[in-house]
Amino acid sequence: MKRAFPILAIVTALLLSFGLYEALIAAPTERTMGDVQRIFYYHVPSAWTAFLLFLINFVASITYLIRRNPKADIVALVSAEVGVVFCTVVLVTGPIWARPVWGIWWTWDLRLTLTLVLWLIYVSYLMLRRFSTSSQTPVLAAVLAIFGALDVPLVYFSIWFFRTQHPSPVIGDGGSLDPRMGWVLLYNWAAFLCLACLVSWTRYRLEVVQREVEEAQSLESLLDGGGSR
């Protein structure tokens, strides 16, 4: 495990560097939007990565509710934290693209609004975990996470079932994405997945150590209290 971490870090750095080169230099320029379209290679992989992390949070939360496994609770917490970071990237890069293309920074488009709601739900989840001192906090957070995960498919499929200002799908059936652009998109998604894994791994180890320290301190306080009587 100790050897795997630096290897993953090196792979992540290489993929991010290669993805940056492909996105800014090697990928063809989109004929209609020009260079501003290149933010697509960060906006879309960030969204996909956030969705995957929220899915992990969903599964870990259900697992915790069923088994009360502390490791599942840590996985749920970590995946939510990292997922919120990538979702924030989505909400920041979207308006940067929209301003020159739509002429506005933000519009209450269905997909945009649902994405903002998704972000707010998971920010609320993190605030609950951070500030609540109740013994039932992990349970309440798990329920909130399951509720929040229901918004993910609504975000993803909103442009299929509703007329929105957001661009139509460019991947899959009916998609019009240039194959070279598709490969660059996949390179960057692979880089973002490695980055998410690296950060989540680090955060998981930190949370485990932090909980062990808190348990040791609680036990020490209990022993000191018993010895003073």
Q: What is the Cα–Cα distance from 4 to 159, expressed in whole angstroms?
A: 40
Helix (H) or strand (E) holding 80: helix 70-102
The DSSP output letter for 34 is: B
pLDDT digits (tens, 9 = 90+) for 61-87: 999 999 999 999 999 999 999 999 999
pLDDT higher for 150 or 159?
Answer: 150
Q: Decide if pLDDT at 163 tops 70.
A: no
> If you average pLDDT over every residue of the chain, what do you get?
88
| Nearest in space to 195 (alpha carbons), one of 72, 37, 44, 85 | 85
In the predicted model, what is the mean pLDDT of residues 12-23?
95
pLDDT (0 to 100) of residue 166? 66
pLDDT (0 to 100) of residue 167? 66
Q: What is the Cα–Cα distance from 89 to 116, expressed in whole angstroms?
A: 12
Residue extents of the structural domains in the chain? 38-209
Which residue type, as a one-letter code, is found at position 178? D
**Residue 2: φ, ψ to 5°:** -65, -35
Under 8 Å between Cβ of 12 and 195:
yes
Long-range pairs, 169-175, Cβ under 8 A, ≥24? none
What is each CA distance from 174 to 23, 165, 170, in whole angstroms? 23, 18, 7
pLDDT higher for 168 or 190?
Answer: 190
pLDDT digits (tens, 9 = 90+) for 118-142: 999 999 999 999 998 888 999 999 9
Under 8 Å between Cβ of 144 and 121:
yes
Under 8 Å between Cβ of 122 and 87:
yes
Q: What is the Cα–Cα distance from 168 to 174, expressed in whole angstroms?
A: 9
